[in-house]
């Protein structure tokens, strides 16, 4: 399994952000090769194998890997000692309908699964707080990144110390949308000049989810020079990243995760 390192705009020894690459892609298999997501139709044993392989490479046990059951909400969950004291059924309940995780615990790897939506990893290395968020267009309109920052701050982080990096996700050229999408962004108060444009040929609207999330992070108080935009589009490069627009929703997901090692 190849894990791509995502860069944070700070020297934060001990904090790592990684994103899975699909690996060897079999033609006509939208789940190949590495998929850690267990609710988009992949075989459960294949998913377990991918998770075990991921954990082995990260040097953690399976119970140190935490990912939510996402559903395009703006709900944020804190992964703390209470979470680990709960039984499996309670943990599943706590992770259900959640699209962002925050933790102050070292040695715990938190991640989200995406196929074109924007994964956003956040770290406050000064206060040892990390987070991961899944922002599709609905989550972006709902300002999930801001809610995640607010939750980090409740645990002791400060916006000026937070650094954010976004993983591979759909680019504006690929993200053609119906008119209801720019309308939702406009109603939510986004600076539309930066995030929407019309394709001259098709007349269709295109939304820049990367810059929309950047606007949310800036409004949450994160300094501009602490924000890193994605370096690749999942749909343009669906051989490397899962893309729901390219492969359909019954496909694998790219896993983006952040972890702080115990002595940082
Ligand atoms: Zn693209």
Give, rounded to a whole angstrom, the gap between the first and last alpha carbons of the chain.
Answer: 26
Taking alpha carbons only, the member of 156, 137, 139, 136 closest to residue 147 is 139
Q: Is residue 174 part of a domain?
A: no
- pLDDT (0 to 100) of residue 27: 87
Long-range contacts of 77-84 (CB under 8 A, 24+ apart): 77/101, 77/102, 78/102, 78/103, 78/151, 78/155, 79/103, 79/105, 79/108, 79/110, 80/104, 80/105, 81/105
| 236 Cα to the center of ligand 1, angstroms | 4
- In the chain, the number of structural domains is 1
Q: Is residue 178 part of a domain?
A: no
Q: Is residue 73 part of a domain?
A: yes
- pLDDT (0 to 100) of residue 222: 98
SS3 75: coil
- Mean pLDDT (10-residue bins), the chain, 264 residues: 96 93 94 97 98 97 97 97 97 98 98 98 97 98 98 98 98 98 98 97 97 98 98 97 97 98 74
- pLDDT (0 to 100) of residue 12: 86
CATH of the domain at 241: 3.60.140.10
- pLDDT (0 to 100) of residue 13: 86
- pLDDT (0 to 100) of residue 183: 98
| 100 Cα to the center of ligand 1, angstroms | 24
| 237 Cα to the center of ligand 1, angstroms | 7
Q: Is residue 187 part of a domain?
A: no
Q: Is residue 214 part of a domain?
A: no
| 105 Cα to the center of ligand 1, angstroms | 35
| 233 Cα to the center of ligand 1, angstroms | 5
**Contact partners, residue 65, CB within 8 Å, separation at least 6:** 51, 54, 55, 58, 109, 111, 257
DSSP string, 91-155: HHHHHBT--EEEE--TT-EEEEEESSSEEEEEEETTTTEEEEEEE-HHHHHTTHHHHHHHHHHHT
Supply the DSSP symbol for 24.
S
From CA 30, how far away is CA 48, in angstroms rounded? 17
| 96 Cα to the center of ligand 1, angstroms | 30
| 23 Cα to the center of ligand 1, angstroms | 19
From CA 176, how far away is CA 52, in angstroms rounded? 36
- pLDDT (0 to 100) of residue 136: 98
Q: Is residue 188 part of a domain?
A: no
- pLDDT (0 to 100) of residue 262: 76
Cis bond upstream, residue 33 (ω within 30): yes
| 49 Cα to the center of ligand 1, angstroms | 30
* Host domain of residue 66: 3-169+223-260
Q: Is residue 130 part of a domain?
A: yes
- pLDDT (0 to 100) of residue 11: 82
| 247 Cα to the center of ligand 1, angstroms | 14
SS3 66: strand
Question: Cα–Cα distances in Å, from 211 out to 45, 216, 217?
Answer: 37, 9, 10
| 35 Cα to the center of ligand 1, angstroms | 21
Q: Is residue 177 part of a domain?
A: no
| 172 Cα to the center of ligand 1, angstroms | 7
- pLDDT (0 to 100) of residue 264: 60
């Amino acid at each position: 399994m190849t894990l791509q390192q995502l860069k944070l705009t700070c020297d934060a020894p001990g904090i790592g952000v990684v994103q899975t690459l699909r690996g060897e892609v079999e033609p006509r298999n939208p789940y190949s090769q590495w998929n850690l997501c267990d609710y988009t139709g992949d075989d459960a044993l294949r998913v377990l194998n991918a998770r075990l392989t991921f954990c082995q490479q990260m040097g953690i046990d399976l119970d140190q890997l935490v990912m939510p059951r996402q559903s395009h909400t703006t709900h944020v969950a804190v992964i703390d000692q209470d979470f680990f004291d709960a039984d499996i059924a309670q943990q599943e309940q706590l992770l259900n309908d959640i699209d962002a995780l925050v933790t102050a615990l070292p040695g715990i790897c938190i991640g989200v699964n995406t196929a074109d939506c924007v994964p956003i990893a956040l770290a406050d290395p000064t206060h040892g707080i990390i987070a991961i968020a899944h922002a599709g267009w609905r989550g972006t309109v709902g300002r999930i990144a801001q809610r995640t920052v607010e939750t980090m701050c409740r645990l002791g982080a400060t916006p000026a110390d937070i650094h954010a990096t976004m993983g591979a996700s759909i680019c504006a050229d690929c993200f053609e949308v119906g008119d209801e999408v720019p309308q939702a962004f406009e109603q939510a108060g986004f600076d539309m000049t930066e995030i929407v444009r019309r394709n001259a040929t098709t007349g269709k609207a295109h939304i820049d989810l990367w810059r929309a999330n950047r606007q949310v992070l800036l409004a949450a108080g994160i300094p501009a020079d602490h924000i890193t935009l994605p370096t690749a589009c999942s749909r343009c490069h669906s051989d490397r990243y899962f893309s729901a627009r390219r492969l359909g929703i019954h496909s694998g997901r790219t896993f983006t995760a952040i972890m702080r090692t115990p002595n940082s």
